[in-house]
Amino acid sequence: MSLTTTIKSIQDIMRKDVGVDGDAQRMSQLVWMLFLKILDEQDKQMEAVKNYTSPIKEEFRWRNWAAVDKEEQPTDNQLIDFVNNHLFPGLKNIKTYQGDSKLRQVIQTVFEDAYNYMKSGSLLRQVIQKIEEDIPLKSFEDQKHLGDVYEKLLKDLQSAGNSGEFYTPRAVTEFVIDRIAPRIGETILDPACGTGGFLAQAVDYLNKSKREEGNETLQKIQDAPRGIEKKPLPHMLAVTNMILHGIKEPFHIQRKNTLELYKDWNEDNKVDIVITNPPFGGMEEEGIENHLFNNSKIGRMYYKNHATGISIQNVSRQILLNMPVPLPPLIEQKFIVQKIENLLSLCDDLERLLKQYNSIQEKLSIALIEAIIGDQSEIKITTLMKELNKETKKNLLF
What is the phi/psi pair of residue 387, to 5°? -65, -40
Given this model, what pLDDT does residue 161 score? 46
Of 137, 153, 139, the C-alpha closest to 36 is: 137
Please state, as a whole number, how many other Cβ atoms lie within 10 Å of the Cβ of residue 135: 19
List per-block mean pLDDT (blocks of 10 residues) for the chain, which spans 398 residues. Answer: 80 94 86 90 83 88 87 90 95 76 86 93 94 76 64 57 61 89 94 90 91 82 92 87 88 87 76 86 64 52 52 55 61 77 80 78 71 60 66 53
Encoded amino acid at 398, one letter: F
The whole-angstrom separation of Cα 89 and Cα 347 is 50
Four-point Cα dihedral 257, 258, 259, 265, nearest 10: 120
User: Please, are residues 120 and 17 in contact by the beta-carbon 8 Å criterion?
Assistant: yes
The whole-angstrom separation of Cα 277 and Cα 333 is 10
Residues 6+ apart with CB under 8 A from 109: 235, 239, 254, 255
3-state secondary structure of 75: coil
DSSP per-residue letters across 244-292: HTT-S--TTEE-S-HHHHGGG--GGG--SEE------S----HHHHHHH
The whole-angstrom separation of Cα 38 and Cα 56 is 13
Residue 96: burial class (beta carbons within 10 Å; 0-12, 13-18, 19+): middle
Given this model, what pLDDT does residue 187 score? 94
What is the model's pTM? 0.69
Fold of 139-280+316-327: Rossmann fold (3.40.50)
What is the phi/psi pair of residue 228, to 5°? -135, 130
Given this model, what pLDDT does residue 162 score? 47
CB-side neighbour CA atoms (13 Å) of 30: 26
Given this model, what pLDDT does residue 135 score? 82
Given this model, what pLDDT does residue 178 score? 92
Please state, as a whole number, how many other Cβ atoms lie within 10 Å of the Cβ of residue 229: 25
Residues 6+ apart with CB under 8 A from 325: none
What is the phi/psi pair of residue 8, to 5°? -65, -40
Q: How far is CA 204 from CA 23, 214, 221, in A?
A: 29, 17, 10
Q: How far is CA 184 from CA 29, 197, 203, 208, in A?
A: 36, 19, 10, 11
Homologous superfamily of domain range 1-136: N6 adenine-specific DNA methyltransferase, N-terminal domain (1.20.1260.30)
